[in-house]
Amino acid sequence: MYVAAGHKPWEAFVPVYNAYILTKIINRPWYWVLLLFLPVVNLIMFIVIWVDLLRSFGYNQTKHTVLVILTLGLYLFYVNYALPLNHIKERELKPRTAAGEWTNSILFAVIAATIVHTYVMQPFIIPTSSLEKTLLIGDALFVSKFHYGARLPMTPIAFPMVHDTIPVANVKSYLPRPQLPYTRLPGFQEVKRNDIVVFNWPVDSVNIYGQDDGKYHYKPIDKKSNYVKRCVGIPGDLLSMKNGEVYINGELLEMPERAKLQNAYAFTPIDRNVLSNPAILREKYDITDGLRYATIHPDKYPDSIGFNSATKASMEKLKADGVISNYQKIEIGIPDYRAFPYNASTGNNSSTRKEFLIPAKSQTVEINNQNIDYYKEIIEVYEGSEMNISNTISFKGNQVLLNEKPLTSYTFKQNYYWLMGDNRDNSLDSRYWGYVPETHIVGKPVLIWASYDTSKSFPSALRTDRMIQTVNGDGKPKSYLLYVVIAIGIYFAGRYLYKKKKGKK
């Protein structure tokens, strides 16, 4: 085909340059070459180029299009060697039929949307209450990929613009092999302490693709479930927790103004009518998680009643209104074997944690049988199997072994972060699955573009006060929805007047 189009045979064999020549043959812009090297996007581009190449030699019939797609481009070899080749140099690029025009428009819209979704900005809907009341269930976010630098897709063969499952069909949206190495484009900021971050869940999921069989199911890094939490610890920090409060390098972590921390509280009830009315609790006191009944400090709170989640401001308002008398944050005093690093001897639980290190890239630590539990998953998984390296930790007496050799120190290959939900006692976060590696960072939420209260019906379910609202920043959150509506109105009014004026000429 290269020769038939007037080019030298050798031009077909030079990598990258042959793609540039191909754009000339099909009469397309040179920058299409760049799109061929963008994972996921290139899958669509290959199909476009196959079809364009056929049409550049006059093979416009539907049967040729179907055959080249079904054979994954191999049909081009048959055309090249078995059929006559007459190159149409000044080929008309505009489709000849309305159906063709629609197909072209949809295809290029999908390509543009895939580029934006993968490398610039991704929509994300808050699925759980782990960040309530900072971010709410039903908040629809735009997540910036460029703040921290866009991570290139590691799973190149995947359905565009969906995560791990194709909607409706409920099947995997990707092929787990091959996998590309981790690569991140330059960003303009690092993950900062108190940033809200979207990331891929560090541990593998067991209930995915509609399966609920309790079995282990492997998922590539970029296809693990997307989570959103607040970064409370950055590389190099020494983090500890006392009575549910986070301390960084020995000092209490100062939360941003917009953060609305929730905790579990015990209290002494006074007005049980209010406490048993979910509507009043929700509308007047902004409490949505309801009551909890358990043995909570029986010496101080014999009624054993409390809230699963509430802000301190809500508890103060209840007390001021005479609904409760005294209240106290519920603290867990016993070690929890489910808490990272899954060793009850550490004394760690969801509200108490001894000081430990959040590793930084190139940082070296001493390794012994007292601290290896904190670093075992990093060595074996995040800097082992996820980097295609076989690392196995074992023990010989008190000696820690890496691949059967003594391990006394270790230098980390990447940065790690500690992420937690603002709904402190109702959040599955780093307290349970540990560090979040740099390779798992997806992006930074920047805008709430829509919000829907799933407990209400339309139209009252629309939270218009949260629409077009920035996620970050100082001061009280403000919706810019009205300004956007006015701007859109001015645009369409101006467009209408312009066309009307032009029509009179």
Residues labelled as active-site residues: 130, 229
Tell me 262's DSSP state.
Answer: B
- Please, what is the end-to-end C-alpha distance for the chain in angstroms? 51
Tell me how far apart the alpha carbons of residues 414 and 362 are, in angstroms, rounded to a whole number: 7
Tell me how far apart the alpha carbons of residues 236 and 244 are, in angstroms, rounded to a whole number: 21
Residue pair 322/271 in contact (Cβ under 8 Å)? The answer is yes
Contacts of 121 (CB under 8 A, 6+ apart): 142, 143, 144, 145
Residue pair 477/133 in contact (Cβ under 8 Å)? The answer is no
Residue 304 neighbours by CB distance under 10 Å = 13
336: which 2 tokens? 């929890």
Tell me how far apart the alpha carbons of residues 218 and 220 are, in angstroms, rounded to a whole number: 7
Residue 84: cis peptide before it, omega within 30 degrees of 0: no
Instruction: At 202, give phi and psi (nearest 5°).
Output: -65, -30
378: which 2 tokens? 């990093």
150: which 2 tokens? 């866009």
Tell me how far apart the alpha carbons of residues 1 and 14 are, in angstroms, rounded to a whole number: 15
Q: Which residue, among 111, 101, 92, 117, has the nearest Cα to 45 in the 3D structure?
A: 111
Residue pair 417/439 in contact (Cβ under 8 Å)? The answer is no
Tell me how far apart the alpha carbons of residues 303 and 199 are, in angstroms, rounded to a whole number: 41
301: left (phi over 0), alpha (psi -120 to 50) or beta: beta
Angle at 53 between CA 49 and CA 54, to 5 degrees: 125
**CA distances for 43 relative to 29, 105, 156, 291, angstroms:** 18, 17, 8, 51
Residue given tokens 């972590």 in the structure block = 253
